[in-house]
Structure 1
């Protein structure tokens, strides 16, 4: 009697469950990853083009320097508080509520200094507020 040697069958590796698990892990990682690019926003401020400046007798120009000093219509303001700036704005507008306030802030001025001007304008009762922008050099 001849017995054949029994050769064990080669095990077959089924890759489909392995691929399913990898896809689930990949989806989980994609959904749970935080993107640090959104924390580093690059902001480019707009440039305004105007035909020509209008001559409006009812306007007050507030200049904000990069070190936080204020000037109203070219005259320096002594204090840096909201109350002193509001009093100066009320005096400059002569109590006229139709006066337009133009904020001309330095590009390197702190954000808080511009907020102080906006708060002082609200306290002085000047609702018309405009921000000055530099014209583009493309023309």
Structure 2
């Protein structure tokens, strides 16, 4: 009796069903995912009730206007570049860096304009930096 030798078929892994399943899962996840914009921050800025004002005769007030121009102690700068603002602050302060440094920015001024003033004040070494705010209507002034 002669037995036939069984023929061995070559092994091969069929990836088509696995790829089909993965594509089905990807499509399902894309359809089931809601694309909300969670990265947006809804920031509600607090109103400042303020603190009692202390009179300081030596202070520097930098006003930032809506268009990005600056006023240093009421003097309008010819341009709003960093070099002119730096030289004006050095001229007004002299060597005194302990004086009160107040930034009074328009509500519609760009954030970059305000940060530029803060950066220059930090580079020049001012220690007492304040940001001017207004008391909301209907709030009593602090004593």
Question: Residue 124 of structure 2 aligns with which residue?
Answer: 124
Q: Name structure 1 gaps, 5 residues minimum.
A: 1-24
Q: Which moved more, 1:101-110 or 1:35-44?
A: 35-44
Task: State the match for 1:60 in structure 2.
Answer: 60
Structure 2 unaligned runs (5+)?
1-24
For residues 90-138 of structure 1, give each alpha carbon's deviation from its aligned partner in whole angstroms, at most 9, with x where no partner exists: 1111220101211111111111101110122123221321111111213
Q: Hey, what's the Cα distance between the residues in 2 that align with 1:127 and 1:92?
A: 15
Q: Quick one: structure 1 residues 138 and 78, their matched pair in 2 at CA, closer, same or farther if it must change by over 3 Å? A: same
Structure-2-length-normalised TM-score: 0.67
Aligned residue in 1 for 2:91: 91
Alpha-carbon distance in structure 2 between the residues aligned to 1:81 and 1:67 = 13
Distance in 2 (CA, whole Å) between partners of 1:74 and 1:34 is 53
User: Aligned Cα RMSD in Å?
Assistant: 2.4
Q: Would you identify which runs of 4 or more consecutive aligned residues in structure 1 move more than 3 Å?
A: 32-35
Aligned length: 112
- What does 1:1-139 align with in structure 2 at a 5 Å threshold? 33=33, 36-139=36-139
Deviations 1:41-76 (A, max 9, x none): 222212111354221122111100010010011111
Separation in 1 of the partners of 2:34 and 2:70? 42
